[in-house]
Structure 1
Amino acid sequence: MADTAAPAPTRALVLGNPASGSHSPELVEQVRQLCASCLEHTEVHLTTGPGDATAAVRRALGRPAGAAPGAPDLIVVIGGDGTVREAVQGLVPATGNAALAVVPGGTGNSGYKMLWGERPWSESLKAILTDTGVGGSVRLRRLDLARLAETRNYVYLGACSGVIADALLTAGELPLKGRERYARAYADTAAGYPPYPGRVTVDGRVVHEGPTVLANVGGGRYRGGRFLVLPDSLLDDGLLDVCVIGGGVPADQVPELTLDAAHMDHPATVYARGRTITVERTDGRRLPLEHDGEYQPGIGSAATFEVLPGALPVWAPAAS
């Protein structure tokens, strides 16, 4: 969904996460300088721990009218998918005209890729700051989000059970950085990974039941910055996509298959769309689950995702 009447941004809050996969003070300063050269006001906030990005966005957007500085109308997030996820928790409930811009600074950066592909961040951000008018190269889109019913949190990029979730735990033990870190973790975790007994329900209809290697709900087409798990997903069609890879696919083949969506041709793969999707583990044990690159240890045996059509204002290419 596009908003062709959106005004150009004038005030930016730049969020940096020193704990993210590719953070550097130099990157934060480059982003700050670019914003400051084009906007009336730019401020930087470096997060201090889990939840701080959400709190910072809420504080900034909650400033009263007439305050100096005023509430930002552009939230620039430097970080990985997890940092963007936190910022979204503060941005979406707020009133006003603030919109999101993403600068890749994490491990997978799939959320940036789903908007801008492999375009350098400096080009995409410069376009957001200077080329948003009629006929410009950038437009404001309103993307669908999911809400995870068990936590009430918003899901920006997507959520996945099984091997992709457990690969995050492996990634935390590896000395690599960026996409190579997650790719290695994905392959290592998939080697000998046992499918879990699962069930996936879409709008009340069971689409899969049995051994499950993963069930991915979204959202973004890519996970880990390079794995094309949801190749048919549209970001603003008012529906959630789900891809289930069943136990008929050896888990150690899944990383290679998902690089170019070859898993879609396997008979053990199920692909569906709907407004409400429930992913379950049927033996009563805890469902291994992540969303937006963050492991969810507090989830029980089931997770339900509800679509929120057009909930997130974000700057994106006009041609998208």
Structure 2
Amino acid sequence: MRRIALIVNPIAGDGKCLRKLPKVEKILTGARVEYTTLMTQSAGHAVLLAKQAAQDGFTTVISMGGDGTLSEVVNGLAGTTCVLGFIPAGSGNDFGRTFGLRSGDVEQACAVIIQEDVREIDLGYTEGKYFLNVAGAGFDAEVGHMANVWGKKYFPGYLAYIASILRQLVRFYPREMHIELDGRMVDTKAWLVAVGNGRFFGGGMMIAPAAEVDDRLFDVCVIGATSKLELLKVLPKVFKGDHVHHQAVKCYRASYVKLSSNSPMVTQADGEILGTLPREFIIAEQRIKVLLPR
């Protein structure tokens, strides 16, 4: 018998998540889905709630919030037998885009929960943190950090990321990077290196259009050194995945990625700032079970 814990971040999406909760409750109750609602109270709380839910015998844990909430729930469930579900109700909602789940569409997300279709997918791991979607270093990490501390205060949804991109363009510049990919060495000057398990980041940017979540490989996208004007031409193409055809962009596949640089470069995983390089990223040995669309 399914026992479901619904972990809700009430402040996700500037309160949009909490406003959508009654609709979610109505849909799940109407479908005779039994669940227990657990509210997060602070950053990091969803990790503890997910861990406790697994220990208390819940078989399925649903994350309702943004990608940050989802990341916390993943880190609480990693290594357990619980099934993960998610209702994208935050500002970015990038992980669900890989599977055609529309941001804020709670009816679609609830339908996936009701259908109970479970799929095992890969988890990334980097020095104490699991990630489900995209990690990396450089310009994207700086933009993500700025979006969290500044952009989301003034702009809704993907506009927070666009505004943060423009602001970071003033201060950021390409850095020399050393990239190790399953033993292959690549030295290059780059704006960013994205390590993708999923396809989207940054509020809808398809940075790794060929990524598959169950192939035991990362899709690694390197946007090499180019002028800021040229970068401005490349970035809009990322939303459709067309940036991969640009001469400054190189794509690789690997299960082990190590990034290092002589210059300070911020790193991130699923939007969470982790510190600076060097850093290793690996495909975790244990997968995670996730409720996904048919």
Is 1:168 aligned to 2:152, yes or no? no
**Distance change >3 Å, CA 309–CA 115, structure 1 → 2:** farther
Percent of aligned pairs with the same amino acid: 23
Among residues 10, 14, 21, which one is paired with 2:6 in the alignment? 14
State the distance in 1 between where 2:182 and 2:260 align. Answer: 14
SS class of match (1:264): helix
- Structure-2 residue corresponding to 1:3: none
Letter in 1 for 2:41: T
Q: CA offset at residue 305 of structure 1?
A: 0.5
- Structure-1 residue corresponding to 2:134: 158
**Over 4 Å off, 4+ runs:** none
**Distance change >3 Å, CA 290–CA 300, structure 1 → 2:** closer
- Structure-1 residue corresponding to 2:179: 200
Task: Check conservation: 1:101, 1:125, Cα contact below 8 A.
Answer: no
State the distance in 2 between where 1:192 and 1:205 align. Answer: 31
Among residues 262, 273, 285, which one is paired with 2:253 in the alignment? 273
Task: Check conservation: 1:76, 1:101, Cα contact below 8 A.
Answer: yes
- Structure-1 residue corresponding to 2:238: 258
Q: Comparing 82-91 with 216-225, which one deviates more in the overlay?
A: 216-225
Letter in 2 for 1:51: G
State the distance in 1 between where 2:33 and 2:226 align. Answer: 57
State the distance in 1 between where 2:121 and 2:167 align. Answer: 33
Is 1:306 aligned to 2:282, yes or no? yes
State the distance in 1 between where 2:139 and 2:30 align. Answer: 44
- Structure-2 residue corresponding to 1:247: 225
State the distance in 2 between where 1:47 and 1:124 align. Answer: 20
Letter in 2 for 1:85: S
Gap regions ≥5 residues in structure 2: none
Among residues 100, 108, 131, which one is paired with 1:116 in the alignment? 100
Is 1:188 aligned to 2:188, yes or no? no
Q: CA offset at residue 214 of structure 1?
A: 0.6
Q: CA offset at residue 288 of structure 1?
A: 1.1
Summarize deviations over 1:197-255 as a string: whole Å, max 9, x none.
Answer: 21211011113x23210100021111123211101111101111110111136343342
Among residues 30, 34, 38, which one is paired with 1:37 in the alignment? 30
State the distance in 2 between where 1:220 and 1:191 align. Answer: 29
State the distance in 1 between where 2:25 and 2:244 align. Answer: 42
**Distance change >3 Å, CA 301–CA 273, structure 1 → 2:** same
Q: CA offset at residue 195 of structure 1?
A: 0.9
Letter in 1 for 2:245: D
- Structure-1 residue corresponding to 2:88: 104
Q: CA offset at residue 291 of structure 1?
A: 1.2
- Structure-1 residue corresponding to 2:42: 49
Is 1:62 aligned to 2:55, yes or no? yes
Task: Check conservation: 1:110, 1:222, Cα contact below 8 A.
Answer: yes
SS class of match (1:260): coil
State the distance in 2 between where 1:263 and 1:177 align. Answer: 24
- Count of aligned pairs: 287
Task: Check conservation: 2:199, 2:211, Cα contact below 8 A.
Answer: yes
Q: Give the TM-score of the pair, scaled to structure 2.
A: 0.90
Letter in 2 for 1:17: N
